[in-house]
């Protein structure tokens, strides 16, 4: 069944009006299912918690989503950082709803100007629309392109042991598909296992496709092989490249004025990883970094890597890169 994963920034009440609450960790998920059987389609709203205090949940959401929904209650620095984050993640389509608290006001002309400057082609509502109107517009944004033909990339964000089932890893399939009885590899450890069973939306399935949040029961794999941010692939696929050191050209984030320099600490966010590194050399926007732990980058480099500096408030998003080379 087609699934659209949506980055949702807004109140819990707004989220509950759009979908049913499904899960809550550092990211809350809300699910709306339309239809049944093969004709069903799903909207999955992912709401990062602890933002703006913690940036990682927001970046994790942006790693796995294609469109956005933002409830705008005020025009402030947090909104600016959120919108820049969406632009850097390449989420060019979405819905913004202006809904200030009683007695407050948000300038629609300023909002339109910011979205235009960031090249965000979003539908902007000046007041709260009907819930069904939002959902229908999101269904229209559902990408029909099938990337399940690509190699498997499955970042894991949770894992645990279930009595009678064994080790289970949970994550969003980023590309490709995973099948029951597949042999899989955890690239960070190089250890292999066999898929015992799969669950999507609490249903046992034979195959999980790109976009699905899947629980993978794995046999012949140590629990220690899994950790938050590790990535499951098919063996010998060579879909990910290991970086201990990297060089790249920085595409600086819009509105970012901070100058970065040698020895600065940078975090890279991609495919649910959040890896810290130190700048070892810099010449204008050409940067070299040594990573504290390996950064795994897609060999096709078909997604953006978001670079952040956590002490650079109010704008912690430094920029992006795609053309990153291991040293």
pLDDT in tens, 308-321: 999 998 999 999 99
Q: CATH 3.40.50.300 region(s) of the chain?
A: 3-141
Q: What is the mean pLDDT of residues 164-182?
A: 95
C-beta neighbour count of 90 within 10 angstroms:
13
Architecture of domain 240-326: Beta Barrel (2.40)
H/E stretch holding 155: strand 154-155
For the cut 60, the answer to whether the pLDDT of residue 306 exceeds it is: yes
Q: What is the mean pLDDT of residues 3-9?
A: 96
Please tell me the pTM assigned to this model.
Answer: 0.94
Percentage of the chain lying above the pLDDT 70 cut? 98
Q: What is the mean pLDDT of residues 154-175?
A: 95
Nearest to 34 by CA among 129, 130, 127, 142: 142
3-class SS letters over 79-112? HHHHHHHHHHHCCCCEEEEECCCCCCCCCHHHHH
Q: What is the mean pLDDT of residues 270-281?
A: 97
C-beta neighbour count of 54 within 10 angstroms:
13
Q: CATH 2.40.30.10 region(s) of the chain?
A: 154-233, 240-326
C-beta neighbour count of 269 within 10 angstroms:
26
Architecture of domain 3-141: 3-Layer(aba) Sandwich (3.40)
| Residue 153 to residue 99: CA distance in whole angstroms | 37
For the cut 60, the answer to whether the pLDDT of residue 217 exceeds it is: yes
For the cut 60, the answer to whether the pLDDT of residue 108 exceeds it is: yes
State the burial class of residue 277 (Cβ atoms within 10 Å of its Cβ: 0-12, 13-18, 19+).
Answer: buried
Q: Is CATH 2.40.30.10 correct for 154-233?
A: yes
């Amino acid at each position: 069944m087609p699934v659209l994963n949506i980055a949702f920034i807004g109140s819990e009440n707004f989220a509950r009006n759009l979908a049913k609450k499904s899960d809550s960790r550092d990211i809350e998920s809300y699910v709306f299912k339309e239809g049944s059987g093969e004709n069903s389609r799903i909207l999955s709203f992912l709401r990062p918690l602890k933002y703006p205090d913690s940036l990682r949940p927001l970046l994790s959401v942006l790693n796995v989503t294609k469109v956005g929904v933002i409830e705008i209650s005020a025009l402030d620095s947090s909104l600016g950082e959120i919108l820049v984050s969406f632009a850097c993640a390449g989420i060019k389509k979405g819905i913004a709803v202006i809904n200030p608290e009683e007695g407050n006001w948000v300038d629609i002309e300023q909002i339109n100007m910011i979205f235009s400057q960031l090249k965000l082609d979003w539908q902007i509502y000046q007041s709260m629309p009907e819930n069904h109107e939002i959902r229908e517009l999101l269904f229209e944004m559902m990408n029909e392109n099938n990337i399940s033909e690509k190699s498997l990339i499955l970042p894991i964000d949770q894992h645990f042991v279930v009595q009678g089932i064994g080790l289970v890893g949970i994550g969003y399939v980023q590309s490709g598909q995973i099948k029951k009885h597949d042999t899989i590899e955890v690239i960070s450890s190089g250890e292999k296992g066999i898929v015992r069973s799969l669950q999507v939306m609490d249903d046992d399935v034979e195959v999980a496709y790109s976009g699905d949040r899947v629980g993978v029961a794995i046999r012949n794999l140590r629990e220690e092989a899994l950790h938050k941010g590790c990535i499951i692939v098919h063996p010998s696929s060579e879909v990910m490249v290991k970086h201990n050191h990297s060089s790249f050209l920085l595409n600086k984030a819009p509105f970012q004025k901070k100058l970065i320099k040698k020895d600065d600490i940078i975090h890279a966010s991609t495919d649910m990883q959040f890896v810290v590194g130190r700048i070892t050399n810099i010449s204008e926007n050409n940067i070299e970094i040594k990573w504290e732990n390996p950064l795994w980058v897609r060999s096709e480099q078909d997604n953006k890597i978001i670079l952040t500096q956590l002490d650079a408030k109010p704008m912690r998003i430094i920029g992006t890169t795609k053309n990153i080379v291991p040293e």
